[in-house]
Amino acid sequence: MRKNTISGLKSQLNTKSKVSIIGHKNPDGDALGSTLGLSLFLKQLGISSQVIMPNGYPDFLKWLPAVDGILCYDTDKTECEKVLQDSDFIFTLDFNHLDRTGSGLGNFLKNLDSRFIMIDHHQEPADYASFMLVDTQVASTCELVHEFVTTQYSEVELTADIASCLYTGIMTDTGSFRFPSTTSKTHRIIADLIDAGANNSQIHQDTYDNNAESRLHLLGKALQNLKVIREFSTAYTFLSQEDLNANGFKKGDTEGFVNYALSLKGIKFAVIFIENKAEDIVKISFRSIGDFDVNTFARKHYSGGGHKNAAGGKSDLDLNSTLEKFENTLNNYREALT
């Protein structure tokens, strides 16, 4: 699905415009890279903007250019609301339902009369935006931001910082250029970004080779908790709040753990369940290989969504009941998973 109604924006956006740029809750490399990359690009045009995140970002992305200028709604609610209230334009990047910013910020946004712009690649977009650049086939929002800036403002060069931000989101959302959504076009964009000054090797190192020992111990725990259900070509793991506390858990530490379950030979469906006592939920990540559609699965059973092969959701049951219910639910997918 592709929808492009963004071309009318250029004539309305100018140096007097007040602009905010928001990513989704628990921002990942694509949410951070796309929002920061766009904000730095608008700066090149003489348009100032404020990047707002619903909550904090993981340590492994703290090296990103301009990351210090981000306002977080959970710690700076009053300031964020003031900025948003004053905004003529609000870009929403890497999500497509206002609820994905959390219920507090989501409800606040629903009552604003600013013009919204959606740039995103997730399934089933809501219709709150006046301008959209949406393509569910594209691997990352950063690729769409690249398309927006290079087609609408072809005369403006990308700086090394802009290129680094966009490179990072493409790298993280494609699993370092290995998921099936990675195309020759993705690689052409990456080549452009390297030419513009993105230091590809350094970006991989800064993002992936900065582990604390405690994170590797947490990974060890997740691997110990692994359960393989061959009958359904499924593997899942979980981390209880106790496991997280015992291993110095910090936001972002569990990123990518689910892929170890997916790397098992013969496994088509992999899941990680992470207990979050503060929010009284179990946060869930789903991954699949091939035709099994985890977006539909997450939507149907776990108030979630995402993409065909990578989605997320949550459970309001306790951890053990969540795992039990999940195993029972698999019985309804015997045909799809065997």
194: number of Cβ within 10 Å: 15
Q: Residue 313 binds which entry of Mn ion, ligand 5GP, none, with Cβ cut-offs from 5 to 8 Å by kind?
A: ligand 5GP
DSSP state letter for 183: -
Binder of ligand 5GP out of 23, 29, 169, 306 (CB under 6 A):
306
**Residue 322 touching ligand 5GP (CB under 6 A):** no
In the complex with Mn ion, the residue whose CB is nearer, 190 or 239, is 190
Supply 318's token pair.
């306790």
Rounded to whole angstroms, the Cα distance separating 305 from 181 reads 17
Stretch in the footprint of ligand 5GP (CB under 6 A) among 134-142, 211-219, 299-307, 324-332:
299-307
**Residue 285 touching ligand 5GP (CB under 6 A):** yes
Query: How far does the chain reach from its first CA to its final CA, in angstroms?
Result: 29
Q: Residue 312 binds which entry of ligand 5GP, Mn ion, none, with Cβ cut-offs from 5 to 8 Å by kind?
A: ligand 5GP
Binder of Mn ion out of 173, 243, 253, 275 (CB under 5 A):
173
Stretch in the footprint of ligand 5GP (CB under 6 A) among 107-115, 140-148, 216-224, 312-320:
312-320
Beta strands 310-315 and 281-288 are antiparallel
Supply 211's token pair.
């582990």
Q: What are phi and psi of 52, to 5 degrees?
A: -125, 130
Q: What residues from 107 to 166 belong to the interface with Mn ion (CB under 5 A)?
A: 141
- Give bridge partners of residue 49 from the DSSP assignment: 19
Q: What residues from 238 to 297 belong to the interface with Mn ion (CB under 5 A)?
A: none
Q: State the sign of the Cα–Cα–Cα–Cα dihedral 100, 106, 110, 112.
A: negative
User: Any residues with CB less than 8 A from the CB of 178 and at least 6 apart, and which?
Assistant: none
**Residue 305 touching ligand 5GP (CB under 6 A):** yes
Binder of ligand 5GP out of 313, 319, 326, 336 (CB under 6 A):
313
Instruction: State the residues that interact with ligand 5GP by CB under 6 A.
Output: 24, 100, 122, 285, 304-307, 310-314
